A = this chain, B = another copy of it.
Amino acid sequence: MKNYTHVSLTALFTMALLGCQPTSSSVQKKPELVINNSQDAIISQQLAQKALNSNVAYDIVESLTVEVGPRLAGTDKDIMAVDWAMEKLWLMGFDKVYKESVQVPAWSRGHASASIIAPYDQPLVITALGGSVATPIKGIQAPIVRFESLEELTLASPGRIEGKIVFIDHKTERHKDGNGYGVTVGGRSKGAVEAAKKGAVAIVIRSIGTNHDRMAHTGMMRYEEDVPKIPAAAMSIPDAELINDMLKRDPNIVMSLNMTSENLGIATSYNVIAEVTGSSKPDEIVLIGAHLDSWDEGTGAIDDGAGVAIVTAAAKLIQDLPQKPARTVRVVLYAAEEVGLVGGKAYAAQHADELDKHYIAAESDFGAGPIYQIDFNVAPSSFSQAQHQVSAMTLFGVALGTNDASGGPDVSMMPGLGVPVASLKQDGTDYFDYHHTPNDTLDKIDPKALAQNVAAYVQFAYMMAQSEIDLRPLASSK
């Protein structure tokens, strides 16, 4: 029988120290919460305390962003990042360090420029969307047609669109959990296909970010077979607003667009993996991941240098324990997340035979904002036991949440394959101010919040590696 203790003042004090608000679920809705204070839980708290006092994670993300910097999948810098990771993990003394090759689409951003040439001559700040084709060498000059959203574009008659540049002007709302991005990302990924089906010659969307910086947000877009491939770009939010102010004056706006981006075929990259070998169940795996690739506009600090640092630093704390936990803790630094979860899919395929040995998986890929909640996706009958197992995380600002976690992009396919996952939810209020822009740089990371992430991940990983709960079968495939 486990021992229990009530939520202590220490928990609230720790949350206050970290600048966290106690959430309704952690304090008001669950006054009955009792905290696991088993020997394992005490070790997990000691690990978390070490994490809070450590600079290891910050040093890792500084090293990656300074010594490598931007590392677009399939480029030379991507391979430099793989080499960096192999050496870094090796020097940190993990029991195993290895890499697994992944075939990734390679793409060159080239140059992108645009301006409004009528009724008022104004330059715009744009960036190519990932995977876009170039314009003809002389560029494209065409009237624009504005849509509120992808949905409005989908419903529009081709007569309004043919020969024009589609402008999707969908505003991304700011939310702690980043939900606004989910609403607008379809315009970025699917807009070119919808526009091209109706005869558009290009698409330039309002950046799907929450900031007001005159920077454009890149991100992946897709083409479809048998639909013309038209150039696709994003403009900065102040530029989208400029165009709206022009439209108030004159509905006839002509844009000039020049892009030299290019798809370069398939290149080889790598998932980089490090392990702390389990002491009694070494073939059973607790997977904590992040993605090593980044977009090429910033230095990939919050997306996803932070995640790389968080899961690596958490695993390093476990590696350094005198007594390793039962299960193996596996750090996976995925290749080519940005260009289509390529590393995550490759991992799932390459480890298909081993997935039944994956006890649980989680990915850190939402910047360096503090973790405020842990959600699971485990067998419904085990959910409350799983929550209790990690309940000492509440002492470090993490509330116990729901049982509908996705686990993160590169492990999002895992529940469908029967593997339990957890989402350690971060405060992403400002995440979409920076991500996928030149502003994704080291200065955007708060070292204290980063350390709190490590504290949460090390508790999670250790307690899962020691857990005696059966987390399967999941209620349904996700």
Interface residue ranges, A against B (CB under 8 Å):
62, 65-70, 77, 120-123, 125, 212-215, 236-238, 241-242, 245-246, 249, 298-299, 437-439, 441-444
How many copies of this kind of chain does the complex include? 2
| Contact A238 to B441, CB < 8 A, known contacts A214-B215, A215-B213 | yes
Scoring A66, A68, A299, A439 by chain B CB atoms within 10 A of each residue's CB, the highest score goes to A66
With A212-B443, A249-B66, A443-B212 as known contacts, state yes or no: A242 contacts B299, CB within 8 Å: yes
B443 & A238 in contact (Cβ 8 Å cutoff): yes
- Report yes or no: B66 in contact with A443, Cβ–Cβ below 8 A: no
What are the 10 tightest A-B residue pairs by CB atom distance, in nearest-first order? A238-B441, A214-B438, A66-B245, A69-B122, A212-B443, A214-B439, A67-B120, A238-B443, A213-B213, A241-B443
Q: Given A238-B442, A441-B238: A245 and B212 within 8 A (CB)?
A: no
User: Which B residues touch A238, using CB under 8 A?
Assistant: 299, 439, 441-443
Q: Which of B66, B125, B212, B245 contacts A120 (CB 8 A)?
A: B66
If the complex has contacts A242-B299, A299-B122, are A214 and B441 also in contact, measured as CB distance less than 8 A? yes
- State whether A68 touches B214 (Cβ < 8 A): no
| Least Cβ–Cβ distance between A82 and chain B, in angstroms | 16
Which residues of chain B have C-beta atoms less than 8 A from A439's C-beta?
Answer: 212-214, 238
Tell me whether B298 and A66 are in contact (CB under 8 A): no
Complex contact B214–A298 (CB within 8 A): yes
Name the one of B121, B125, B212, B442 contacting A242, with C-beta atoms under 8 angstroms.
B442
**Sample of 6 more A-B contacts, CB < 8 Å, known A213-B439, A214-B441, A237-B443:** A68-B120, A69-B120, A69-B121, A238-B299, A242-B441, A245-B442
* Closest chain B residue, CB of each to CB of A297: B214
* Chain B residues whose C-beta falls within 8 Å of the C-beta of A123 in the assembled complex: 69-70
**A249 cross-chain contacts in B, Cβ below 8 A:** 66-67
Q: From A444, which residue of chain B is reached at the shortest CB distance? A: B212
Q: Say yes or no: A438-B125 contact (C-beta < 8 A), given A214-B215, A444-B212.
A: yes
Q: Which of B121, B245, B298, B299 contacts A62 (CB 8 A)?
A: B245
Most B CB contacts (10 A, CB to CB) among A120, A125, A238, A444 go to A238
